[in-house]
Structure 1
Amino acid sequence: MKRLAALSLLLAASAAQAHDVRQLGAHVHGQATVDLALDQQSLDVSLQAPGIGILDFERPPANAAEQAALARATALLQGGSWVTLPTAAGCR
């Protein structure tokens, strides 16, 4: 009986180690962080957000439609059009 219990625990531990972890840490859905850094004439904007808040999934794309959604989101975010600044700032 003890051997059966030990074997069960060993198998459970092996299965837990085989689990593929795909996230970097805890996060809150619907919450994003934007960091701004101004260096002389250059403004750097960094966005950190869970994938579910932008793509509606938090895993590698599973099909062509999800791959296209990821490509569109990446282009939009890298293009910077999601950031608006006052016209009076004279930014380019």
Structure 2
Amino acid sequence: MFTGLAAAIFVLVSPAAADEAQHRQLGPHVHGQGTLDIAIEGKKISMELVAPGMDIVGFEHIATTDAQKEAVEKAKAKLTDVLSVFKLPAAANCKADAANVESRKETHHPGDKDDDDDDKPGAPQHSEFHATYTITCDAPESVTGMETVYFTNFAGAQLLNVNVTTSKGQTQAQMTRAKPTLDLAGVM
């Protein structure tokens, strides 16, 4: 499926691959801030988005009411349509091959030295959204940038920390409400 340098680096920088280590090093998620990892190799683009539930649906606990569950399902439906949320240049002729979006429990908290108490009844819980995507582009050299409606779709979202890996190297950038674009010209 996805092999080579970009796949190896994607695994190394992927929040899912380093989830536990990341929580130990960086602590819990920060409201308003998500992470978007992008790996581009040949015609394939793999993306992974991790964002606090508060950013996406306006609450951070596991959905319990019908209204909350509906909000989660609507958010998942929006996030599943990756090329509507993260728009690539039309000249690249990209198509989404796969999308997986889930809302999951995230239980690490400030001051935690271990995870021993996180699953006990009454322990504070947070949720986060995790999405993975695979995209194929007929003309990947035309992927010189990306625009997003992520901030328009999700009122609590303020910032995406973006990590990009290509055969030419790695770069980091930020997308914000004020600057919902990403320049990829230097790494393609």
Question: What TM-score results when the alignment is normalised by the length of structure 2?
Answer: 0.34
Paired residue for 2:33? 31
Q: Identity of counterpart residues, as a percentage?
A: 39
Which residue identity does 1:66 align to in structure 2?
A: Q
In structure 2, C-alpha distance between the alignment counterparts of 1:39 and 1:77, rounded to whole Å: 23
Query: Which structure has the bigger radius of gyration?
Result: 1
In structure 2, C-alpha distance between the alignment counterparts of 1:41 and 1:65, rounded to whole Å: 40
Paired residue for 2:89? 86
In structure 2, C-alpha distance between the alignment counterparts of 1:73 and 1:45, rounded to whole Å: 17
In structure 1, C-alpha distance between the alignment counterparts of 2:80 and 2:47, rounded to whole Å: 10
In structure 2, C-alpha distance between the alignment counterparts of 1:35 and 1:42, rounded to whole Å: 14
For structure 2, list consecutive stretches of 5 or more residues without a partner in the other structure.
1-22, 96-188
> Following TM superposition, by how much is the alpha carbon of 1:78 offset from its aligned partner in structure 2, in angstroms?
1.7
Length, aligned pairs only: 69
Which structure exhibits the higher relative contact order, with contacts defined as CA atoms closer than 8 Å and separated by 6 or more residues?
A: 2
For structure 1, list consecutive stretches of 5 or more residues without a partner in the other structure.
1-23
Which residue identity does 1:71 align to in structure 2?
A: E
Which secondary structure does the structure 2 equivalent of 1:32 belong to? strand
Which residue identity does 1:88 align to in structure 2?
A: A
Deviations along 1:45-91, one digit per CA (max 9) or x if unpaired, are 11111110001011111211110110111111122121100112222
User: Cα RMSD between the aligned structures?
Assistant: 1.5
> Following TM superposition, by how much is the alpha carbon of 1:26 offset from its aligned partner in structure 2, in angstroms?
1.1
Deviations along 1:6-61, one digit per CA (max 9) or x if unpaired, are xxxxxxxxxxxxxxxxxx64121111110111233221111111110001011111
Which residue identity does 2:91 align to in structure 1?
A: A
Higher strand share: 2
Match 1:71 to one of 48, 54, 73:
73
